[in-house]
Amino acid sequence: MEDNKLYKIRHSAEHVLTQAMERLWPGKIVKAMGPAIDDGFYFDFDTNDGLKISESDFHAIEKEMDKIVRQNLPITRQELSEEEAKKLFEDNPYKLEWIEKAVAEKEVISVYWTGEPGKEGSFVDLCAGPHIEKTSEIKAFKLLSLAGAYWHGDEKNKMLTRLYGTAYGSKEELDQHIWRMEEAKKRDHRKLGRELDLFTFSDLVGSGFPLYTPKGAMIRRLLNQFVEEMQTAEGYQQVWTPQVAKGELFKASGHYDKYVGDMFRVVSNYSDDEFFLKPMNCPQHTQIYASSGRSYRDLPIRMTDFAMLYRDEKPGELNGLARVRSFSQDDCHIFCREDQVDKEIDTALQMTKKIMDTFGLKYRYRLSTRDREHPEKYLGNPETWDRVEMWAVEIMKRNNIPYYDGPGEAAFYAPKMDLMATDALGREWQLSTVQIDYVQPERFGLKYTDSDGSEKTPVMIHRAILGSAERFMMVMLEHFGGALPLWLSPVQVRVLPISDKTMDASRELVKRLAGAGIRVEIADQADSLGKKIRNAEAEKIPYMVIMGEKEVEAKMVAIRQRGQKDLGQVTEADFVSRILTEVAEKKI
């Protein structure tokens, strides 16, 4: 992204924002940091003399930014010595800290000037770039919101103010972005979760620990059943593992050294051992494999696990179901011979394709590889890493799957093939993953007896399709705007009696539909038919059955589909057939 024009426009727009604020409040704005991000930019700042910036100031700031853009000011880079940089920012503790860091890491210290360098009224900030050449290249921008942000994201540091904005190369692109933002607000899964009564959070339970209502739990169960049916058909076997394990397990796997700060420690009253709530399933699955002697004939062994996992996320990073502290995954770990890897991965990729097609999600893969400048972050032989990374490319090409490179995104034990799904608003979400792992089997001393009697170490394939059930549920709610497909809807049909005269017949209909395997309920409140319809539409019920005296007499049902007008009368048998067929075909 850093080399493209949009990134430069957004990075430069952040400098124009900061310059505008310094013009409006001279001497009162203390610059901290402000990068370009995937959908815009932000600027963290501190203030002097009790100044408080609010969204009511956005119009004035944008007006001043527009003046700077129209001035067509040059943006130029200048490299400085440590002494020059410290003198230039001597009154700014945040910049001085960045300078010290650059010196310690032997990085070049550079600044960017907006306007003539060194001239009074020109703007300067410590920055590595890159930027556009002139402010007039910023064609469209908008300030979006304010939020609090700890310096370096650490709650022990001072709380700064973060101002978010976005910029594009044209007004049309900006307008489209604003539309997507407004649509995203309507589809916000946290809002839908409350409105549709799917999940909640409690301060007494703790932040990041979702509680699922019967309807929300139904959606989770349906998702898991869908995956499990497909896995069972392919010879996968479900296991179940404890949610707590000794620290020694995670020391053996390497997770302890890498992630102990993000793991929940558990205290035992009767043991001196160190225990943790498990943040992943793979270490425990190695112990199931190691519990018996294995032959080459036994392989592949495919273990699936829907057990709960726990990670101690920072409070500021929690976000509804998107980022939680308790979650489950449709985890699978395949222990196989090296000559079986290609077939196992091809099968996993085809399963993934079928599931993504079911939900109508377009996707591509990210090949998550090592950060080659920091080999200390990874375990295992560099030559093995080279081979597996090349192998992943061959797998993508063989399966005709679009992919792009993600340097530095690998797990510490293996590169990853991460599926990036695109939702209805064009946003990408990481869902499934496939990893070819030589490190974990080696660290745990896993073996099998080969055909010649020798001992070999199996390859371990890590695979998830939906990924986290919580995250996938969030994506589905926002992708469909809460209007889930019929097969996934917790309530598929709501029967709407027009009056008390048809109440008994409506209740009998509910019993018959439920007996046919349809998830159905009755609107038996003393409301008008119009209100019952509006309520069902608001709750995203896929089908409504309107029961009036005419329908009862004719032994017919009048049906109405979500978001559409009445579909007319049909026989009860035809309606049941329609529902069951749509569910079986998993139509969207």
The answer to whether 440 is a known catalytic residue is no
Which is the catalytic residue, given 11, 416, 519, 560? Answer: 416
3-state secondary structure of 543: strand
The catalytic position among 282, 325, 540, 560 is 282
Sheet containing strand 543-547, strands side by side: 520-522, 493-497, 543-547, 556-561, 566-571
Catalytic (active site) residue 225 = no
Q: List the catalytic residue out of 162, 177, 285, 311.
A: 311
The number of residues making up the chain comes to 588
**Alpha-carbon distance values, 551 to 418, 559, 562, 580 (Å):** 52, 11, 20, 22
Is 462 annotated as catalytic? Answer: yes
366 belongs to the catalytic site: no
| Cβ(338)–Cβ(459) below 8 Å | yes
E strands along 201-291, which residues? 211-212, 237-238, 244-246, 265-266, 275-277
Residue type, position 504, single letter: D
Measured over the CA atoms of residue 563, residue 567, residue 572 and residue 573, the dihedral's sign is negative
- Give the active site residue among 333, 366, 456, 560: 333
Largest CA distance in the chain: 93
With contact defined as beta carbons under 8 Å apart, do 254 and 413 qualify?
A: yes
CA 577 to chain centre: 37
Round to whole Å and give the CA distance between 328 and 326. 7
The single residue of 31, 278, 325, 462 carrying the catalytic annotation is 462
Rounded to the nearest 10 degrees, the angle between the axes of helix 572-585 and helix 503-515 is 40
Work out the burial of residue 25: count CB atoms within 10 Å of its CB; fewer than 13 is exposed, 13-18 middle, 19 or more buried: middle
Rounded CA separation 9/144 (Å): 17
Task: Tell me, yes or no, if 331 is annotated catalytic.
Answer: yes
- Catalytic residue list contains 333: yes
Asked whether 410 and 368 are in contact (CB, 8 A), the reply is yes
Count of H helices and E strands in the chain?
18, 29
Question: C-alpha distances in angstroms, 131 versus 39, 101, 138?
Answer: 16, 22, 11
Nearest Cα neighbor of 533 from 500, 560, 505 is 560
- Cis before 382? omega within 30: no
430 strand-pairing partners: 420
Catalytic residue among 19, 231, 284, 329: 329
- Catalytic residue numbers, as ranges: 282, 311, 329, 331, 333, 416, 462
